[in-house]
A = this chain, B = another copy of it.
């Protein structure tokens, strides 16, 4: 192990990368920062452009982190080795696995989403917590959803905490953002039916048809879906709430609905 190339938290590259934890810096640069070996391997597998990586060798201890460092190297990504002080500035505290990278944020334009004939997509309107958004991505990936659409987004899908909560699936599940009005037009133009999760609906999801081209729409943690989704062509469903709480976490509700759609559709082969 040779001496690290960067040994100060004041190093300009380190400082520029650390700034990507703030949304404004991400929006300006079109870049984000990815923590974690598993997340980085999934970014590479999805052909996301990795601009540079920082590796703190004494902290690289997991198989995932070692595999990611090797994959970054064979992909020709510029790698800067750092000491622990410099790494602490750029890494996300508790979760430091010794490797972080700066990656280019993929396009989130609605017209870049390609769908198969019976695609299942998830729409989240005005969801605020990056952790919830990441958790929905992970379930959407598992259930074979074709895309996550953010309507009137309140959080950035490439927030580093969303990427982490997604276990790196933020790079494998196509993501698009748009106003609620644009998202509804886009769905209509493609003949995609909408199932809306509402706590005041009467139909349980297993009594609704979740086959064919379908969007499962869920609203914000506090207010649920806006009235823009209360139109005749939208089927509202609710999960039974048999205890004292009046709603499920949005990421949990999304997963239950996605897997109910998967059950109705049978396995993709």
Residues in A lying within 8 Å of B, measured CB to CB? 42, 45-46, 135, 138-144, 167-169, 172-173, 204, 206, 239-245, 247-249, 251-252, 255-256, 259-260, 262-263, 267-268
Contact = CB atoms under 8 A, between A and B. Distances in A.
B244 A172 contact: yes
Given A143-B242, A242-B262, A252-B255, 4 more contacts: A139-B248, A142-B240, A142-B242, A204-B263
27 contacts: A46-B244, A135-B252, A138-B252, A139-B249, A140-B243, A141-B243, A141-B244, A141-B245, A142-B239, A142-B245, A142-B248, A144-B242, A168-B245, A169-B245, A172-B244, A204-B263, A204-B267, A206-B263, A239-B259, A240-B262, A242-B268, A248-B255, A251-B252, A252-B252, A252-B255, A255-B256, A256-B256
Contacts of A262: 240, 242
B243 A142 contact: yes
A138 B255 contact: no
A198 to B, nearest CB: 15
A113 to B, nearest CB: 16
A267 B135 CA distance: 28
Most chain B beta-carbon neighbours within 10 Å: one of A143, A241, A247, A256: A256
Nearest to A263: B206
Contact of A241 (B142, B239, B245): B142
A138 B42 contact: no
A212 to B, nearest CB: 17
Contact of A138 (B245, B256, B263, B268): B245
A243 B135 contact: no
A169 B256 contact: no
Nearest to A144: B242
A206 B260 CA distance: 10
A42 to B, nearest CB: 6
A150 B29 CA distance: 46
B242 A135 contact: no
